[in-house]
Amino acid sequence: MKNLLARIPWFNKNNNGSLLAGIYIASDKVVSVILHRVSDSFEIKHTVVEAFQSETEKLPAFNRVLEKLPTGAQVCLVMPESAYQWVQIEKPNLPEQDIVTSLPWTIKELVSLEPSDIIADYYDASLKQGGQNKINVVVTSRTLLMPMLKLINDSDVDLHTITTPEMMFCDLVTQDNAAHMLVSQQFGNEPSIHIIRDGELLLSRKLRGLIPLAEQPLNQLKLGLLDALGLELQRSLDYFESQLKQPPIKSLQLAIPNFEINGIAQELSQFFPAKVLAFEPRLALCLQQNTEVQLAIAAALSQDLRGDNEDSH
């Protein structure tokens, strides 16, 4: 499930294992983390951050990051939230190998892209509603993605995987048999809700009208925006429990870049029986890092085929 868009050309699936790189394209910066294998775990070799202020500066910033990566590094690229769309559809009655090739025409009425510009991949939805088999489809623009892929192809690194922040949060959230809700947000973007259980994404949706959540002080948020957030969270929980018939979540975690995040968690805890807290990544390498770096670390570690991510330090 983590290796979305794996059918795009230029992928190197051979894991040489010594230098793993994760690149995350945030709303205002490109973040890269290089991990170096030390015995049976990984250490952070170095971190690169290249800021940009407009869309026209994004690709040059991405190229500057690539130029600073060591030769032969194996890369997992995490797409920016603005670069893709998610849709859920009934699973086509086709052989597995034919589903991906049919997706541009199957979903053309559901997305804002022409079929010829669509690059799509999917995974099976684990929760059924009404007994239907459904798939979750991630869709991106060929026009948008190919310039980045060309830069990677012309560089000295090997592209292993392209994925999304949702998939990386699945590696970062506590993994047990209970569901956890995560609210994530980047500056200038709307927040998103993800419900994750044992490393699997069960539900994800984008919220609207809540961009100031990352920017306003707590006393301003109390004037109405926190109530709006609480209402949206409750709606998602009601759907998860009532429509999808799932047990209540164990925790509600906030990955929001607000300096008063602990105060926000305390305010929200008055309305939810589950524990509400600032996001705490389960991977030790991610402790004391901001969310952008955490996503880049998770992306790098996702390429480790041995599955020892949790023990890395």
Per residue in 111-129, pLDDT tens?
Answer: 999 999 999 999 888 887 7
Least confident residue range of 37-46, 113-122, 302-311? 302-311
The pLDDT, as a whole number, for residue 213 is 96
pLDDT band at 132; cut points 50, 70, 90: confident
How sure is the predictor about 5, in pLDDT bands with cuts at 50, 70 and 90? Answer: low
What is the spatial distance between Cα 35 and Cα 289, in angstroms, rounded to a whole number? 15
What token pair was written down for 111?
């997305």
Alpha-carbon span 264 to 259, nearest angstrom: 10
State the sign of the Cα–Cα–Cα–Cα dihedral 86, 183, 81, 157. Answer: negative
| Cα 205–chain centre separation | 12
Residue with tokens 């995560």: 182
Check pLDDT > 70 for residue 11. Answer: no
Banded pLDDT at 7 (limits 50, 70, 90): very low
Angle between helices 165-172 and 291-301 (to 10 degrees): 80
Structure tokens at 250: 């164990």
pLDDT confidence of 39, banded at 50, 70, 90?
confident
pLDDT reading at 309 higher than 90 = no
pLDDT at 14: 52
Pick the CATH number of 82-141 from 3.30.2350.10, 3.30.420.380, 3.90.45.10, 1.10.10.10: 3.30.420.380
What pLDDT does 70 receive? 94
In this prediction, residue 10 carries a pLDDT of: 45
Quote the strand ranges of 91-250, DSSP E: 118-124, 134-141, 158-163, 179-184, 192-197, 200-206
3 state DSSP class of 146? helix
Sorting pLDDT into bands at 50, 70 and 90, what band is 82? confident
Is residue 306 scored above 50 in pLDDT? no
> For residue 236, how many other CB atoms are within 10 A of its CB?
20
Instruction: Look up residue 6 and give its amino acid.
Output: A
Is the pLDDT confidence value at 104 over 80? yes
Domain boundaries of the chain, sorted by first residue: 19-81+144-164+285-311, 82-141, 174-280
CA 42 to chain centre: 21
What is the structure's pLDDT at 40?
82
Task: Output the CA angle 228-230-234, nearest 5 degrees.
Answer: 120
d(CA 139, CA 119): 6
pLDDT of residue 114: 95
Q: What is the pTM of this model?
A: 0.90
Residues present in the chain in total: 313
The CATH architecture one would assign to domain 174-280 is: 2-Layer Sandwich (3.30)
Just give the CATH number of 19-81+144-164+285-311. 3.30.420.40
Average pLDDT for residues 197-219, to the nearest whole number? 94
Higher-confidence residue of 255 and 132: namely 255
pLDDT at 9: 44
Q: Where are the alpha helices (DSSP H) in the chain?
A: 55-67, 96-106, 142-153, 165-172, 218-221, 225-238, 261-268, 291-301
The pLDDT of residue 305 is 53
Domains 19-81+144-164+285-311 and 82-141 share a fold: yes
Q: Tell me what the mean pLDDT of segment 92-105 comes to.
A: 92
Per residue in 271-302, pLDDT (tens digit) is 999 999 999 999 999 999 999 999 999 999 99
Asked if 119 and 145 touch (Cβ cutoff 8 Å), the reply is: yes
| Phi and psi angles of residue 270, each rounded to the nearest 5 degrees, phi first | -70, -20
CA-to-CA distance for 45 and 11, rounded, in angstroms?
Answer: 23
